Amino acid sequence: MLKGIFRKKEEECTDGEIVLKVSEDELKASILIKGPKGGGYEPTLAEASNAITKKGIMFGIDQNLLMRLFERKMYDKEFIFAKGKPLVQTKQGKIKYFFKANPDMRPIEDKKGNLDYKNVKLIQTVKEEDKLCEFIPPVRGTAGKTITGKVIQPKEVVDIKMPSGVNVMRDPEDENVLLASIDGTVKKSGDVIEVTAILHIKSDVDFSTGNIESRIATKIFGDVKSTFSVKVDRDLEVLGVIEDAEVSAGGAIFARAGIIGRGNGKISAGDNISARSCQKASIISKKDIIISERVSDSTIIAEGKIKINARRSEIFRCKLIAKDGIEVRNIGNDNYDPAEVIVGMPAELYLESETLNIRIKQTQQAVDRASKDLKLAHKMQAFRAGARKETIANIRKNYAELVRQLDDLKGKKESIDAQIKAKMNRDASFIVFDKIFPRITVNIRGKKIKPVNEQTLVEFKYGEEELEIVNLKEKYDRFEIQRMMLGR
């Protein structure tokens, strides 16, 4: 019985132990001294120092703390005994803008689907000496040091320059502030801020004004009436309706009340185009096109994206072409009116290729007719010895010219198609956030599909070898889909 008791006491006798832990960032280390049991061996400060050295800890050690821990036998509790010097990261300089450097042209949509056009500011106006931007200088960081002696260097300061500009000036009281030097409209393009004067036309563009040509940003407070033209080198804002007119801008166009044509209207811009609606017109943009409500009987062409995804939007009897993708809420209707969507190909080159297809077909038909005429002329000469040889010569000459034209067209077509292939956006897709109806032709990078049934919340994109239809409900949750619709 006594042997069993002594054996139990021997088993409970354990030596003390030193446990060291180093954080992943090596900025702190802790020590836990496990106390001895049953008369076991007590660890010493010297042993702790050896263990610390073996761990490579050499910086920020609190020697006084270690001494107290062992002197007072503060066992079974973890203490931080070494701390590195934290890195203070460099704060890079930045430019703070006092206008929207990258304005969102979409109208604000409330929960009921109503669109607020009053708060959309395509053209941002400033007055002389208004603050445009401010340069916030960088703050260079300080190096840190780990408990193992490694020095952590802060990021180098990135050189950020104050934007240059046209009709801007430095604030005489603060050289880091840029001011407008004239009244006008402000716009940022790359690293350049430009303030330009604004032309205000406070009426309709009609017989009272004649056609408009302007080298500066222009704001029209009325309509642009049918058969009239507006040509602006910079941005254009029209508060009224653009009718069956020809409107072009080197910058952006914002049509607050929409575009209502009769089939001959053409609107083109070197920047984004935003409109309330578009009926029976052609719209061409070098960048993005955003339309909020109805689009019908129109051709919409963008080198960037097309977005027609507001709650009340609808699209039918249209052709939409966009290199970087198309997003819609609904397309088609219960009458199954057709529409065509072309995505992923550079818009202008695609249209040029389509035009060449038509010309090649017409020229081929002319070549076939000339060939028949030539054969018929040879037969007529066989029966009529007096037929003039020059008739056959003229037909032969015309035939040869047509063949030459056909070869030229085919060569151009081949060249254009090669450019299209090189410039395709392979990530572009067509997204439908609500419903796509039958009789809608979807063309993604030359591959076509025409859904025969109504589908909701789908994305059409080009897979490895063929078109894919992705169910957005299976790929994203409700909040992610909503963020996509808002362009976030």
pLDDT at 118: 42
Strand locations in 286-333 (E):
289-291, 294-296, 299-302, 306-308, 314-316, 319-322, 326-331
pLDDT at 295: 95
As separate numbers, helices (DSSP H) first and strands (DSSP E) second, the chain gives 7, 38
Q: What angle do CA 314, 311, 115 make, to 5 degrees?
A: 110
pLDDT at 1: 43
User: What letter does residue 303 receive in the DSSP assignment?
Assistant: S
pLDDT at 13: 87
Average pLDDT per consecutive 10 residues, the chain (488 residues; last block may be shorter): 47 86 94 90 92 94 94 93 95 92 63 53 78 94 95 92 89 93 85 87 92 90 95 93 96 94 95 94 95 93 90 88 93 91 92 92 92 76 55 82 93 93 91 91 90 89 82 74 60
State which H helix or E strand residue 393 sits in: helix 389-423
Pairing of strands 151-152, 115-116: unpaired
pLDDT at 312: 74
Q: What angle do CA 456, 457, 463 make, to 5 degrees?
A: 110
- The predicted model scores a pTM of 0.64
pLDDT at 7: 47
Torsion of CA 299, 301, 307, 308, to 10 degrees: -10
Question: Alpha helices of 87-194 — where are they, by DSSP H?
Answer: none
State which H helix or E strand residue 482 sits in: helix 478-485
CA atoms of 112 and 106, how far apart (whole Å): 16
Phi, psi of 354 (to 5 degrees): -65, -40
pLDDT at 17: 93
Residues 6+ apart with CB under 8 A from 184: 125, 126, 167, 195, 196, 197, 198, 216, 217
pLDDT at 2: 44
Question: Alpha helices of 253-388 — where are they, by DSSP H?
Answer: 347-383
